[in-house]
Copies of this chain bind each other. A is one copy, B any other.
């Protein structure tokens, strides 16, 4: 991974930086912003992190997370350089329509737009946090314990804690350096995976009880009634869609959530070649081969039937 020289020069030259990331930020988005913000501050730069949404409770252990602001205040008057992290269009960050001294994109997602005076997009990088790690190294900045914790969390979240196939030698070596700089894998994992509220666990129980499997397609669902019964909200179903994947016969798993009476949100996950993006695309949704989703107005029985049929149709032929 090669850090663009133009990026290094821009950072050295400019004094004021607005860091922004995508809406509904995840650990990679937040960790990248927080680590880079601290690194820039250590160079005496003035920074602000803009993040439209509140930091999810899950990530409030990340050092400095209170730096994330959902307003711009008077910061634009300082004519900052905009850095989009883990995101490549101002619209994805809900920060469009402003002017900046310069704009920089640091991202590992497929490009959505040609935005950015300096564009550093590494589609094969496991996490934006990994790119920020290389950037901070290229800037010769000493990695503090808090930077390390933020970057390690970013990488852990986007590699499923080193379980996904994007776990490259670069990911593992960078993580080794982050542990040396003070990141604590045990404590970070405890924060990420062992801080469920009891009612979220109750919701999971109810949801797993709805499991049906047909032709390697697994369906689970959560109704408004189940949210009400357990005192949970939609955000509490995060990752539920992945759980049926642990069954060996399951190639596609889908989580169905009732958002409103007669309205449903579907999140699909697949193993290997089964392409769930195809199912989402014809229903106005989006995503990638192994993770996609859509919204639909229908009844639960019809939706289940639709998903079993559509799922079966995108399974690889044997």
In the assembled complex, the Cα of A190 lies from the Cα of B246 at a distance in Å of 8
Of A101-109, A127-135, A172-180, the one with at least 4 CB within 8 A of chain B: A172-180
A165, CB-defined interface residue at 8 Å: yes
Task: Judge whether B246 and A193 touch: CB under 8 Å.
Answer: yes
Alpha-carbon distance A180/B170, docked complex (angstroms):
10
For window 14-73 of A, CB contacts with B under 8 Å fall at none
Our pick among B165, B180, B198, B213 for the contact of A247 (Cβ within 8 Å) is B198
Cβ A190 vs Cβ B271 within 8 A: yes
* B-contact bits for A219-240, CB 8 A (1 contact / 0 none): 0000000000000000000000
Q: Nearest CB to that of A167 among chain B residues?
A: B185
Chain B CB within 8 A of A197 CB = yes
How many monomers of this protein are in the complex?
2
Q: How far does the Cβ of A124 sit from chain B's closest Cβ, in whole Å?
A: 14
Is the C-beta of A189 less than 8 angstroms from some C-beta in chain B? yes
- The interface residues of chain B lying within 8 Å CB-to-CB of A205 are 205, 208-209, 211
A298 interface residue per 8 A CB criterion = no
Contact partners of A98 in chain B: CB under 8 A: none
Binds B, one of A1-9, A156-164, A310-318: A156-164
Residues of A133-183 at the interface with B, using a CB-CB cut-off of 8 Å, are 160-173, 175-177, 179-180
**A249 within 8 A of partner (CB):** yes
Distance of A58 Cα from B124 Cα, bound (Å): 30
CB-nearest residue of chain B relative to A193?
Answer: B246
Task: Report whether B173 and A176 are in contact in the complex, using a CB–CB cutoff of 8 Å.
Answer: yes
**A187 x B172 contact (CB < 8 A):** no
Which listed residue (B201, B211, B246) contacts A194, Cβ 8 A?
A: B246
**Which chain B residues border A184 with CB–CB below 8 Å?**
165
Q: How far is the CA of A180 from the CA of B247 in the complex (A)?
A: 29
How long is the Cα–Cα vector from A185 to B170 in the complex, in angstroms?
Answer: 13
Contact B172 A179 (CB under 8 A): yes
A195 within 8 A of B: yes
Q: CB distance B193 to A163 under 8 Å?
A: yes
Q: Which of B169, B196, B204, B209 is close to A180, meaning CB atoms less than 8 Å apart?
A: B169
Chain B residue with the shortest CB-CB distance to A163: B189
A198 with B249: CB separation less than 8 A: yes
A96 at the interface (CB under 8 A from B): no
Task: Please list the 3 inter-chain residue pairs (A to B) with the smallest Cβ-Cβ separation, ordered nearest first.
Answer: A165-B186, A172-B176, A167-B185
Which residues from chain A sit less than 8 Å from chain B, CB to CB? 160-173, 175-177, 179-180, 184-187, 189-190, 193-198, 201, 204-205, 208-209, 211, 213, 244-249, 271
Given contact pairs A161-B162, A163-B185, enumerate 16 new A-B contacts (beta carbons under 8 Å). Answer: A160-B189, A162-B175, A163-B186, A163-B193, A165-B186, A166-B186, A193-B246, A194-B245, A194-B246, A194-B247, A196-B247, A196-B248, A197-B248, A198-B213, A201-B247, A205-B209
What are 13 A-B contacts with C-beta separation under 8 Å? A162-B162, A163-B185, A167-B185, A169-B176, A169-B177, A173-B176, A190-B271, A194-B271, A196-B247, A196-B248, A201-B211, A205-B208, A205-B209
